[in-house]
Amino acid sequence: MPGHDVIVVGAGITGLASAYHIKRNNPDMSVCLVEKEKTYAQGNTGRSAAGFRDTFTSEMNYILSSSSIEFYKHVQNKLGFNLGMDSCGYLFLLESGKLDSPAIKKVMSRSRGKIVSASDVENSGINTKPEKDVAEMMNLPEIGGGFLGENCGIIEPDLICSFYDSELRKMGVELKYGTKVNSLSLAPTKTLDYPGEPFLWQDKTINSLETNSGELKAEKYVLCTDVWTTDLLAPLGIDSHTLPKKRQIFQASGKEVQNMVSKRMDGSEGTFPFLILPSCGIYLRPEPKSKSFWISTADDIGRPYSYEEDPQPEKDFYNLGMLPVAQEYIPQIKNSKITSSWAGHYAYNTIDKTHYIFESLNVIVATGTSGSGIMKGDSAGRVVSAIVSGEKTAKTFTNRVINVDELGIKKRKVEIEELVI
Ligand SMILES: Cc1cc2nc3c(=O)[nH]c(=O)nc-3n(C[C@H](O)[C@H](O)[C@H](O)COP(=O)(O)OP(=O)(O)OC[C@H]3O[C@@H](n4cnc5c(N)ncnc54)[C@H](O)[C@@H]3O)c2cc1C
């Protein structure tokens, strides 16, 4: 007799949102959340740059992100639970030829935003014309203007997780922090009690989770274990379809950075937009609390797909890679100091860079968040919940309908995203 109806593994944003929607939609179900760390948001959720945007070219990404953003706004503004949400905007700095590209046109047709002129960009303190020799050597384009996404900004993932965690407690979900799942144990659906089961010809199911504090049983299991998913699925012969890649963040602080971060583009009081440079995918995330910029990039060729147990930020990667590019456009960081740095991983869906949410046996897997799992977290949780309930469609917070199969493997229907950061 199973101990629970559902066990969700992983207390990052995906697992917490999934457990929350499963329990909300099925109050009679016994739901348990298992996490190897002592509390929530200790995996990649807590290492995130935590920007949010609805500026995607793929319809699926737009639905997942815009609905989650509305839900987070609802939590902060209507339920009064502070999520540190600040709609400071995302400013994509672009070469002049890219300002009216099909990607920008597509995004502008449904997301709130506007084109910003080169002189407005320049007046906000950004250098649009990198020095000629440097520009030639480092392939740095001149900035011809920008696209400012207005339904975009920054959020605090710890606080979103804290919201879900407190709701789970109120709803009676059992939270097992400090519990590591070592493996999923495969068994025949009808046991013969014969050594060596399950045999080739027997139907199979996941019978239990083997953890550091014993065996846990449920009817269904949900894996929201991000880059750790492959370790749990591969021994069963199930493909996670994802690969890990290291990602690093460097916090740059200093007087000039402080002045820039604490103002909007037009100089009024507020927060400078999240900046995306036109070169190397480098971005600067404003951090109003410490009045610093978090500087990062999703580097591609040369950065291996591999998992590091304790990923460390690489000073040379910043000093020789990101800084020389970033300071050409943002001179304010020339005299800044690195006051903190950390690293984590993206769990990449290497094809279309959107979540994979699929069912295999009695396990539902939600992974492949590809660097945008915070901003799509609530919607992903709703899709997981629909699959647990055996439904074909999930409804997002904004009442958009998602055919759950479209985020799966066999009947997947997700466009390749063109605006990847
Ligand atoms: C540097 C960086 C910058 C990013 N920037 C952004 C951004 O700006 N915006 C955005 O939306 N996203 C961003 N992301 C991506 C985002 O952080 C992830 O997509 C998201 O956090 C994934 O959430 P998750 O819950 O799926 O995974 P995680 O938060 O990693 O949670 C998985 C959990 O599973 C637990 N777990 C794993 N294995 C086991 C086991 N065997 N037993 C028990 N527990 C287990 C882990 O301890 C962990 O807590 C960024 C990520 C990084 C690294």
Q: What are 146-205's pLDDT values in tens digits?
A: 999 999 999 999 999 999 999 999 999 999 999 999 999 999 999 999 999 999 999 999
Tell how far the Cα of 43 is from the centroid of ligand 1, in angstroms.
5
- pLDDT for 405 equals 98
Whether the per-residue pLDDT at 37 is higher than 90: the answer is: yes
- pLDDT for 196 equals 94
Report the nearest atom of ligand 1 relative to the CA of 179.
43
Whether the per-residue pLDDT at 340 is higher than 90: the answer is: yes
Q: pLDDT-based confidence at 2, cuts 50/70/90? A: low
Whether the per-residue pLDDT at 1 is higher than 80: the answer is: no
User: What's 104's DSSP letter?
Assistant: H
The count of C-alpha atoms lying within 13 angstroms of the C-alpha of 187, restricted to the half-sphere facing its C-beta, is 16
What is the Cα 102 distance to its own chain's centre? Answer: 25
**Taking residues 263-287, what's their average pLDDT?**
97
Closest C-alpha to ligand 1, atom 48 = 43
- At 251-266, the pLDDT tens digits run 999 999 999 999 999 9
What token pair was written down for 37?
């760390």
Whether the per-residue pLDDT at 137 is higher than 90: the answer is: yes
Query: What b/e string do you get for 314-352 counting C-beta neighbours within 10 Å, with b at 16 or more?
Result: eeebbeebbbebbbbbbebbeebebeebebbbbbbbeeb
Most ligand 1 atoms within 8 A of CB, residue of 225, 284, 294, 296 to mutate: 225
Report the nearest atom of ligand 1 relative to the CA of 344.
53
Topology match between the domains 4-51+158-242+351-407 and 90-150+244-346: no
SS3 15: helix
Look at the pTM and tell me if it is higher than 0.95.
yes
Task: Name the CATH architecture for the domain at 90-150+244-346.
Answer: 2-Layer Sandwich (3.30)
Report the nearest atom of ligand 1 relative to the CA of 45.
21
Tell how far the Cα of 394 is from the centroid of ligand 1, in angstroms.
23
Whether the per-residue pLDDT at 421 is higher than 90: the answer is: no
**Taking residues 106-119, what's their average pLDDT?**
96
Q: In the chain, where are the structural domains located?
A: 4-51+158-242+351-407, 90-150+244-346
Q: Which of 20, 161, 71, 65 is nearest to 397 (CA)?
A: 71
Whether the per-residue pLDDT at 93 is higher than 90: the answer is: yes
Closest C-alpha to ligand 1, atom 33 = 10
Tell how far the Cα of 276 is from the centroid of ligand 1, in angstroms.
22
- Percentage of the chain with pLDDT > 70? 100
User: For tokens 């991983």, what's the residue?
Assistant: 345
Q: What is the CATH number of domain 4-51+158-242+351-407?
A: 3.50.50.60
Residue 148 phi, psi dihedral angles, 5° rounding? -100, 110
Ligand 1 interacting residues, C-beta cut-off 6 A:
9-15, 34-37, 42-45, 47-51, 180-181, 224-226, 228, 232, 247, 249, 296, 344-346, 369, 371-375
**Taking residues 351-379, what's their average pLDDT?**
97
Tell how far the Cα of 12 is from the centroid of ligand 1, in angstroms.
6
Q: pLDDT-based confidence at 420, cuts 50/70/90? A: confident
> Are the C-beta atoms of residues 239 and 233 closer than 8 Å to each other?
yes
- What is the average pLDDT score of the chain? 97
